[in-house]
Amino acid sequence: MNARAGVRRPYVRSMQGWWRRDPFFMAYMAREMTAFAVAIYAVVLAVGVMRLAQGEAAWNGWLAALRSPGSILLHLVLLVSFAVHAKSWFEIMPKTMPMMFVGGRRVEASTITRTGWIATLVVSVLMFALTWWWKK
Amino acid sequence: MKRSNAPIFWLLFGGGGMLAALFGTMLVFITGIAAPLGWPFGPDLLSYPRVLAFAQNWIGKGFLFAIILLFAWHAAHRIKVTLHDVGIHPGPVAKLACYGSALAVTVVAAASLLSIGF
C-alpha cells in the first residue's frame, strides 16, 4: 500500500485559465491587456526619438520600418487596444476618483464616464485638426 | 515610520492612463497608420526636418517626453499588478522587470531628446 495513502491531501481547485470562465473576467483581462499596447507604443516612440537623435538616415530607417505591413498590422491592433483602454478607463473612473458633488448632489457615475468619452473625442478632433494644419 | 512610495507609482499610472485615454488612439492613428500610408496628411508628414523641428521646439519636446514617460510607467505599473492575476506574485524580480523597463525607456527618451538640442 502507498505510504502516503493516509496523509490527507485536500483537493485544491486549479486557478489555471480562471479568467476564461466568465465573460466578466474576460472583459477584465482584455482591459488589463491594453497595458501591453501602451507599453509597446511607448517603446515604438522611444525608438523613434532615439533614431531621430542619430540623424536623417537612422530616422528614415525608422520611417521605413513603420511602412512595413507588419507594422501597419501592429498599429491597427494598437489602435483597437487604445480605444478599448479609453472606453474602460472612463468606465472605471467614477470608482477610482473621490466622490464629486455639484450643488450638494453627488455627480452620477454615468455623467463622469460620458464626460471622459466626450473629452477623448474633443481631444482627438483637435489633434487631427492640428496635424492637418501642420501638414504641408 | 517609513513613507510609502506607492503614491508616486500610482500618480505615474494615473497620469499615463489619462494621457493614453485622451491622446493615445488618435496618436497611434497619426504616427502608425496615417503617416506611413501617406493618407490623409500626405507622404511628408513625418519627414526628418519637420520632426526634428518639432522635437527641438520645447512644446514638442515636452509633449514627446510626457507621452513616452507616462505611457511607459502606466504600463509597467499595470502589468506588475496584473501579473498577480495570472499566478505570478509581484516580488522583487517582477517589480524590477516592470519598473526597470519603464526606467530604461525613460532614460533612452530623455537622453535622445536632450541630444537633439533646443
Band of the pLDDT at A4, cuts 50, 70, 90? low
A37: pLDDT strictly greater than 80: yes
CB–CB of B78 and A32 under 8 A?
Answer: yes
Place of cell 497620469: B15
How confident is the model over A102-133, as pLDDT tens digits?
Answer: 999 999 999 999 999 999 999 999 999 999 99
CB–CB of A53 and B32 under 8 A?
Answer: no
Predicted local distance difference test score (pLDDT) of residue A9: 85
Q: How far apart are CA B82 and CA B75, in angstroms?
A: 10
Q: Which residue ranges form the domains of chain B, and what is each CATH number? A: 6-116 (1.20.1300.10)
Q: In the predicted model, what is the mean pLDDT of residues A9-13?
A: 86
Band of the pLDDT at A12, cuts 50, 70, 90? confident
- Cα–Cα distances (Å) from B11 to A91, B15, B17, B74, in that order, read 19, 6, 10, 9
What does pTM read for this prediction?
0.92
* Of A12 and A3, the one with more pLDDT: A12
How many residues are listed for chain A in this entry? Answer: 136
Predicted local distance difference test score (pLDDT) of residue B86: 85
Instruction: For residue B17, give the C-alpha cell.
Output: 492612463
Band of the pLDDT at A5, cuts 50, 70, 90? low
Q: Is the ipTM value over 0.90, yes or no?
A: yes
Q: Which residue ranges form the domains of chain A, and what is each CATH number? A: 18-134 (1.20.1300.10)
Burial class (CB in 10 A: 0-12, 13-18, 19+), B6: exposed
Which residues in chain B have their CB less than 8 angstroms from residue A78's CB? Answer: 28, 32
Q: What is the mean pLDDT of each run of 10 residues along chain B (118 residues)?
A: 84 96 98 96 96 97 98 96 86 92 98 95
Cβ contacts of residue B15 below 8 Å, gap of 6+? B70, B74
CB–CB of A90 and B21 under 8 A?
Answer: yes
Band of the pLDDT at A15, cuts 50, 70, 90? confident
Interface test with B, best of A21, A52, A130 (most B CBs within 10 A): A52
The mean predicted confidence, pLDDT, of chain A is: 93
Residue type, B17: G
